[in-house]
Amino acid sequence: MSKLHIVLLSGGSGSRLWPLSNETRSKQFLKVLRDENGEHVSMVQRVFGQISRMVPDADITVATGVSQVRSLEMQVKGRYAEVVEPERRDTAPAIMLACEHLASEQGARRDDTVVVMPIDPYVEDGYFAKVLEISQAVQTDAADMVLLGVEPTYPSEKYGYIVSEQTGDAPVRKVSRFTEKPDEVTARELIAQGALWNCGVFGFRLGYALGILARYGSFSSYEDLRSRYAELPKNSFDYEVVERAESVAVIPYAGDWKDLGTWNTLTEEMKDPYSGRVVVDDSTCSGVHVVNETGLPLVVAGLTDSVVVATPDGILVSGKKESAAIKSLVGQAAESQPMYEKCPWGEYRVVDLSSFPNGTSALTRELIIREGKQLEYQRQTGCSVVWTVLSGQGEVVIEERLQEVAAGSVVCISTGQAYAAKATASDLFITEVQLGRVLAKEDTEELELFWDENQ
């Protein structure tokens, strides 16, 4: 029997949700939603829970970038495969890479069904029940490519539309054409014709995708494809594959569906209007959501239908409607260096970034390494590092030379030296100063863990 494989696409940094979302803390990992028990969950955790309830026998693969692997592994436990892009090249090459991984590394058969979908839709459980209908349509040869189409609730100009040959109650409809992001008048006309929103869900046999991949070259293995990833076209799956396919069908979905990609849509689903150290004048404010992660007091007055967000990465004050168009403004304002990040070993916060007349820079961070955890063995190729231990006990290794540290210890690490740290008897609190001409995350070379994790 054929097997069902779900490929979840996890990409993008969610710049329209800046400053809460950034390159290392993408929107799908923000714990701003609540589950049925009232616990805070992320979009990723919510989707994994829905799949486990509605499609429990499906094999799950997550296609993502290297910057999101750490967040994914921290939030989602259990059995799933990871396919990590060597570089960002849009959804077409990412899906091709995932399909090659299914075939070469996971033992999937060419006759198996693959259903590709975003990792972060805000939907009801019925959305995932449709995955089984897509699989059945693929296996009964309804079409080479079977899509999921959302029944529109208003004439949106933000989404693409799928126009089918049949309307009414037909469960599977042949697709005649696509219209990408029309104006409002055209959108109304399309809806009157029974058109559906394209929500980025695609179903097909694995062999079909591998046949398309073969058009771009002969790849001997998954690793061969990864090493030659730049040879694949940098294009979306919609444009590169779906709109060129000869046989396409769509299955309609009439339930709730939202893309929580802007503050305007996200705040509609946030149960708590205020978070953090916040004082809001409710007599002069209405429709306001405030998030404060800085620990500093934040006072808000006289705002309507607005969002105020303060994090170590920046501060945003915007009307909710206008927040959907801040992407270009964020590109002008945001620093490339994340100011705060939770990691498997603990967390860090950037407290200062200074530049000097001689061209050098200094980056100061506060590190917390949790008891029993270890900072990865690594080396900095663009700067030296000075650690001052403020509290706790642990061990530091520099070029395989081990030393114990405690409050008051100062550790100097030269450019290019391999180093790591482990908290032993308690959490380690460290002030770190990086000194050099290049202070970029890509200049950190991560090596193997130094200590056995089981010890």
pLDDT at 335: 58
Neighbours of 145 (CB within 10 A): 24
As a whole number, mean pLDDT of residues 419-448 equals 86
User: pLDDT tens digit string along 183-231?
Assistant: 999 999 999 999 999 999 999 999 999 999 999 999 999 999 999 999 9
As a whole number, mean pLDDT of residues 85-107 equals 95
Task: Please provide the DSSP assignment of 132-168 as one string.
Answer: HHHHHHHHTTS-SEEEEEEPPSS--SSS-EEEES--T
Percentage of the chain beyond pLDDT 70 is 96
User: pLDDT tens digit string along 227-277?
Assistant: 999 999 999 999 999 999 999 999 999 999 988 888 988 999 988 899 999
User: pLDDT tens digit string along 2-25?
Assistant: 899 999 999 876 678 888 887 667
User: pLDDT tens digit string along 267-283?
Assistant: 999 888 999 999 999 99
Distances (CA, A) of 218 to 18, 90, 103, 104, 237: 41, 21, 15, 14, 20
pLDDT at 66: 84
State residue 393 phi and psi, 5-degree precision. -135, 150
Neighbours of 171 (CB within 10 A): 11
Residues 6+ apart with CB under 8 A from 58: 4, 5, 6, 51, 131
Q: What CA–CA distance (Å, rounded) separates 84 from 68?
A: 9
Task: Name the amino acid, one letter, at 150.
Answer: V
Length of the chain: 455
